[in-house]
Structure 1
Amino acid sequence: MWVGKENDPKRGSDLLAILLTSIKAGTRTPLIINTRAGDVIASLTDELKEKEDSGFVNSTNSGLLRTVVGRLRMHAAPVSFMDLDGSQVSVLERKAASLAKGAIRNERPMVLPPIPTELHLTGVKLSKITQSIAYRNIIKLRCVHDRPRTEKVMEKIIRRVKEANSRSPSRKQVWSSLRSKDFSKPLRIFLWKCAHDAYKVGMYWDKQSMDPILRERSRCKHDGEINSMEHILTKCECVGQELVWESIRNMWKNRTNVMFPEQCMGSILGSPISVIKDEDGRPSQGLTRLYRLVVTEAASFVWAIRCERVIRNGDEPHCRVEVANRWTAALGRRAELDFKLMNRKLGKKSIPISQVLDTWIGTCVINTSKWQGSQMVTSCGVLVGSSQDSRAGIG
């Protein structure tokens, strides 16, 4: 009843422990519950009235929380909570941890006794309802069906991340990563639509009901392949994607001295949650953030120039020099944004100088940088050191 995509396993285990303790102790035994989960204590005491008034709409593990509240209301003896956060681990905690490890091996199903409905409130208090609370409760009542196309993309993402990082992320982690604060709003929208396979490309046009002229859109005019989003971003032979990824491969090689991973739809959408390790095999925050930024920016850029080519230019390929220079400028603008966000006047929205340096150092996006005490003076610029070929034909 409390297992769901929106639930927090750690918090759920604390609530479950309280529920099982109250059941085992009986309703007439005084309880003193010691826990380090201060948020759980707050949910069962100070914040309980507010949560009940709103229908537990913003609560994780809301089903289990309702059950625990009902069970504690059945308890006739006093119930006390003690917050152990900040104190040393006691002998009792070590014993509890040992019992928990033993319980993991117990696979017998657990049947909980029913809680009378009059002991826990349902719905929302009418005098406290707002449009936001009403909307959230209505959404929770809806029966959500997974879209087959979304599921296929999600499986690709999870499989690719697992191959790269030896761990399988949850769907919630994937969706949350696509809303990273490192991404602009247009980029978030682009990634969200890609994850849902919502763009009208490829097989969308290859339907019997479509006009023959429209069905031609399902195939790439440059290589005859199905014009899917993955094909557009990583496989199309037209000038654009290969040039951009080659630029990133060279930059990555100069920065890390290792080969840049081959990209596909799963790796592009999985880049926000992927972890890159340094030469010592330890997770590197700088490399991870650089990988996340350049992969997503590259995908968005390739999609933008493809749309420009097909819609505005009659599918006439761009000049290689133009694509290279525009990609250089796009990546430079993203780096320059990071430099501007180092300003401490921005308060919580500012980015630490060390984080920006760890991200962009060694990528030729910093023209001049030097330390003066604890301050860094930086003249922000775009990828300097362009080759002669990239300027060929420019008067």
Structure 2
Amino acid sequence: MYAGVAISKSDDLRPLLERADIKLTGSQHLRDYIPKIESLEYQTLTQELCGQAVFLMFDGTRRLGEALNTVARFCNAEFEIILRLVQFITLEASPDNLALSATLTNLVIRELGLPFEAISGWGRDSVKVNGTALSRLSVIFLNSTDLLCICHTLNNTGERVGFPEKRDFMTAWLILVLNNNTAKKMWKSLTQHAMVGYSTIRWWSRQEVENEISENWHHVPNFLHQLEDEGVGDATTRRMLEIYAANPLLLEVSFAAGYDGTAQLLRTTYEMEGDRLEILLVFRRVEAVRAFGRSLGDPDNRGILPNVDAVIRRAMVPTVGTSLEKEFPGHGVFSGKITKIDKEDPEELIYHITYEDGDTETMQIAEVLPLLSVVEDQLRNYAIEQLRGAYEYLEKRLTGECDSSYDCRQRTASW
């Protein structure tokens, strides 16, 4: 039992252990010990929790056959943060708000024997049924605070990033590439490393796959054509080729924008996962995320999207009148325009630049491209609009401009 081996397996292990003169009873006899051991565990728990301010965190699966677990968090006399699993039950289906609130109330009052005022707060995912259940529990446990999981909130924010063309492409990609060994081998032969794993239940798993595609975008056209030539994927491969061929630059910008626009969200989510003192860091991390979101709507800034800018600049063809910006150390950033292009040598064009203060200089194409102004570019503005919706959603969650079940104001107040 301590090792987590199923009791039913003891009947198979018994002959093996008896060869080493280790006596083992049968599974039916061992089952008789379960209620007694559980009772002793609860006695130990109640002694440990007595007199403590207890914070209860609960979570459940979304699969068929709900598994609901509850963990108690408190600080002992030595100022150590202690975590104890106080409940793990399986249900035929996910409970509604009435069943969930009744289960948690029963746990506190009957199983743990704690007074109402001992519960200092509840930690939960931002699922509507949880919020409705907590509305009921807050009437009973008057000292408790309802705190939503910030990681879950950030993950929900990322799921609201737009780009329909990328979503369609990724649907086909996940169906084929991550489930077909031939496709996996083709991708590995091109990139020299295996495709990152994908999970439907792990935070940011889909975005991590998208990031890998974005980092290896130069391999994508060859990869898709190899799939078609080898007859791998059939209709799924054709669908990806159709989306890619419709507008390769738009699709690449979509992946680059996803990379830039969710990088801070993804990093903050993983930094905030833990069971110690992450709350001391969360304010600064989340404020940095909010600042990035606000910058997307700032007409003077328009967000910091280095990969998007690089993709757009690479596709641009500088002509007379094209704007650019260059930083001069100690003097600031100056705007300029291409006023003349020397075409004597078609393979090495010379660009004449005139700045707003009248200064001039000449550059080659490799020097010009990184300086081209893309702030007003149509594709860049499209990328910003597709990202802004997600950050507006986060802002509404944090300021309470949403359904009460998803209101994170108590969470932000605790920071």
Question: Into which bin does the TM-score normalised by the smaller protein fall?
Answer: under 0.3
Greater strand share, structure number: 2
Rg larger in structure? 2
TM-score under structure 1 length normalisation: 0.22
